[in-house]
């Protein structure tokens, strides 16, 4: 039995790095999801990796749902080419709608905002606010240090054994999607007794 991934929330940067591999990766992720019949839910912007994910998916005939805060919408960075574009009051509402609209999460390279989204998706899975797979695409070794840090938290004891499999990592989109489809949710903190904590 595998998870049905109809839509995946993509977390990534709104910047355009000098190294062209990052924009190419973002476009290929959008296109790769569309080719698999998986819709994209993302931050609703037209700049940087976010815009490249959306254009990659749209050019491949995929569904793209953007979720953008009002402050960014009014600053003219919104991508009006999306299949659907939702405007929300702020970042909390944005991340909540990502969770409501998606069957899973994939983080590709990005900065501080991307990290905020990734860690919240992991935290919410750990607590029990959702049971969707949380994927990290470690293209070009970009997240090697983050994966090592996550392992250190587990080794020290800040991530319980039951939750050490929440973060799913792979170097390619194909491998990552396969692992996400095979993911089995762990017992969330909300369902644990005090002795388990």
For 99-113, the pLDDT digits (tens) are 999 999 999 999 999
Is there a domain that residue 1 lies in?
no
Is there a domain that residue 26 lies in?
yes
Q: What is the rounded CA–CA span in Å between residue 157 and residue 103?
A: 29
Would you place residue 197 in the very low, low, confident or very high pLDDT band (cuts 50, 70, 90)?
low
Is there a domain that residue 31 lies in?
yes
Is there a domain that residue 147 lies in?
yes
Is there a domain that residue 190 lies in?
no
Is there a domain that residue 2 lies in?
no
Is there a domain that residue 105 lies in?
yes
**What is the CATH classification number for the domain harbouring 173?**
3.40.50.450
Q: Find tokens 């254009």 and name the residue.
A: 55
Q: What is the rounded CA–CA span in Å between residue 159 and residue 165?
A: 10
Q: Tokens standing for 166?
A: 């929440």
Q: Tokens standing for 17?
A: 């790095």
* Number of domains making up the chain: 1
Instruction: Please tell me the pTM assigned to this model.
Output: 0.95
Residue 104's domain comprises 7-184
């Amino acid at each position: 039995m595998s998870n049905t991934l109809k839509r995946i929330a993509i977390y990534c940067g709104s910047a355009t790095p000098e190294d062209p591999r990052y924009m190419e990766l973002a476009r290929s992720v959008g296109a790769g999801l569309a080719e698999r019949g998986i819709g994209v839910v993302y931050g609703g912007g037209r700049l940087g990796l976010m815009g490249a994910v959306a254009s990659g998916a749209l050019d491949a005939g995929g569904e793209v749902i953007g979720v953008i805060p009002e402050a960014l919408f009014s600053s003219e960075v919104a991508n009006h080419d999306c299949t659907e574009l939702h405007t929300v009051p702020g970042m909390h509402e944005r991340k909540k709608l990502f969770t409501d609209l998606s069957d899973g999460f994939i983080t590709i390279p990005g900065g501080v905002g991307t990290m905020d989204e990734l860690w919240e998706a992991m935290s919410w899975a750990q607590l029990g606010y959702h049971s969707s797979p949380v994927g990290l695409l470690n293209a070009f070794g970009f997240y090697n240090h983050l994966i090592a840090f996550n392992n250190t938290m587990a080794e020290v004891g800040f991530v319980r054994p039951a939750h050490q499999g929440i973060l799913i990592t792979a170097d390619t989109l194909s491998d990552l999607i396969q692992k996400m489809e095979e993911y089995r949710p762990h017992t969330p903190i909300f369902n644990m007794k005090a002795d388990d904590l």
